[in-house]
């Protein structure tokens, strides 16, 4: 019976150890969750405080008893937040659309067609994946300036279209479609373009959706190029808009209104993310980076 009591002891300590380990793990994870979420909480909280209330709090309060939407009204009226949002939307939609067309055609050529020089062209494309944006942005800035396309959507969009990485992703996906499907279509007299549109694109829809989401995130958050190429606030995107609001915004340092603008800018992507959570995370783990 001595053994039995030994076993009991071992079981007990093991259970206690495992409970302790779990508690510590959860505690640790919860701390990081708070660090991640707190800025979001603070920006929403601040955006709901009135200007007067906020500025009278020498010691910031963690709650507000008199929430107001006034700041949101200010964000849309006192500064052109609506225009920034609209600009960003136009920029994002057109850039993503053009990119999708361009990379789909190119990926099809690489994955499906046979032509002289294909491999050389593909190596060229691949090598471009390693070129940092900082290196080419200077000439692009001068090119767009010379073309007199500063402060225009064309100037914003055109250099943002190229995405070698997404082209690569799509080509890999296209190549997984069995050759027999193409041969079957050929026998039935399907043209290449029709095969691409009717067969390859529908089959590759999941990848195309992933690419679209990643590009939309990229466009929505782009800052450097729009900053270089636009100095007319009528063409500002949200990133530049928020910087403009910060520096010359509401005439005085109206932090609650600024936070309201920040909330408005952040919400669309967060909603998009929550809807397509799986796709976004899968897409990012397949090759997204931040920065």
Residues of span 79-98 touching other proteins by CB under 8 A: none
CB-based contact 232:151 (threshold 8 Å)? yes
Neighbours of 283 (CB within 10 A): 23
Among 9, 224, 234, 275, binds other proteins (CB under 8 A): 224
CB-based contact 43:262 (threshold 8 Å)? yes
Quick one: which of 166, 165, 174 has its CA closest to 205?
174
Segment interacting with other proteins, rule: CB under 8 A, options 1-9, 66-74, 75-83, 118-126: 118-126
226 CB-contact burial (10 Å; exposed 0-12 / middle 13-18 / buried 19+): buried
Q: Does 227 bind other proteins (CB under 8 A)?
A: yes
Distances (CA, A) of 6 to 3, 10, 11, 12, 17: 5, 6, 9, 10, 16
Among 120, 187, 251, 252, binds other proteins (CB under 8 A): 187
Quick one: which of 261, 283, 153 has its CA closest to 217?
283
Q: Residues of 134-145 as b/e, b for ≥16 C-beta within 10 angstroms?
A: eeeeeebbeebe
Distances (CA, A) of 243 to 12, 56, 146, 238: 58, 25, 26, 8
Residues of span 19-48 touching other proteins by CB under 8 A: 21-22, 25-26, 28-29, 32-33, 35-37, 39-40, 42-43, 46
Q: What are the helix (H) ranges across 49-175?
A: 51-56, 70-77, 81-112, 118-128, 133-146, 153-157, 164-175
d(CA 243, CA 262) in angstroms, rounded, equals 10
Nearer to other proteins, 12 or 52 (CB): 52
Among 60, 82, 123, 148, binds other proteins (CB under 8 A): 60
Nearer to other proteins, 1 or 30 (CB): 30
Residues of span 154-183 touching other proteins by CB under 8 A: 158-159, 161-162, 164, 167, 178-183
Q: Does 120 bind other proteins (CB under 8 A)?
A: no
Residues of span 247-286 touching other proteins by CB under 8 A: 247, 253, 255, 258-259, 261-262, 265-266, 269-270, 272-274, 277, 280-281, 284-285
Segment interacting with other proteins, rule: CB under 8 A, options 2-10, 69-77, 78-86, 116-124: 116-124
**Binding residue count for other proteins, defined by CB under 8 A:** 113
Nearer to other proteins, 1 or 285 (CB): 285
Nearest-approach distance from CB 104 to other proteins, in angstroms:
9
Among 11, 57, 148, 175, binds other proteins (CB under 8 A): 57
């Amino acid at each position: 019976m001595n053994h039995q009591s030994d076993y009991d002891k071992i079981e007990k300590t093991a259970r206690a150890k495992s409970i302790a380990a779990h508690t510590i793990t959860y505690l640790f994870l919860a701390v990081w969750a708070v660090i991640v979420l707190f800025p979001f909480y603070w920006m929403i909280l601040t955006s709901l405080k009135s200007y007067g209330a906020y500025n009278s709090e020498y010691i910031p309060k963690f709650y507000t008893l008199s929430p107001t939407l006034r700041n949101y009204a200010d964000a849309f009226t006192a500064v052109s937040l609506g225009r920034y949002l609209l600009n960003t939307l136009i920029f994002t939609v057109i850039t993503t659309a053009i990119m999708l067309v361009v990379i789909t055609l190119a990926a099809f050529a690489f994955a499906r067609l046979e032509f002289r020089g294909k491999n050389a062209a593909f190596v060229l494309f691949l090598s471009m994946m390693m070129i940092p944006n900082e290196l080419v942005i200077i000439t692009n800035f001068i090119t767009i300036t010379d073309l007199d396309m500063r402060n225009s959507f064309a100037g914003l969009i055109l250099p943002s279209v190229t995405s070698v990485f997404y082209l690569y992703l799509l080509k890999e996906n296209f190549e997984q479609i069995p050759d027999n499907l193409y041969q079957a279509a050929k026998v039935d007299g399907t043209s290449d373009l029709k095969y691409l549109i009717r067969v390859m694109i529908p089959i590759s829809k999941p990848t195309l959706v992933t690419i679209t989401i990643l590009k939309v995130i990229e466009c929505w958050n782009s800052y450097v190029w729009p900053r270089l190429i636009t100095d007319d606030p009528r063409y500002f995107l949200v990133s530049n808009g928020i910087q403009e609001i910060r520096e010359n915004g509401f005439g005085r340092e109206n932090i609650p209104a600024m936070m309201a603008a920040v909330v408005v800018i952040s919400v669309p992507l967060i909603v998009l993310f929550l809807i397509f959570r799986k796709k976004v995370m899968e897409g990012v783990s397949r090759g997204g980076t931040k920065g």
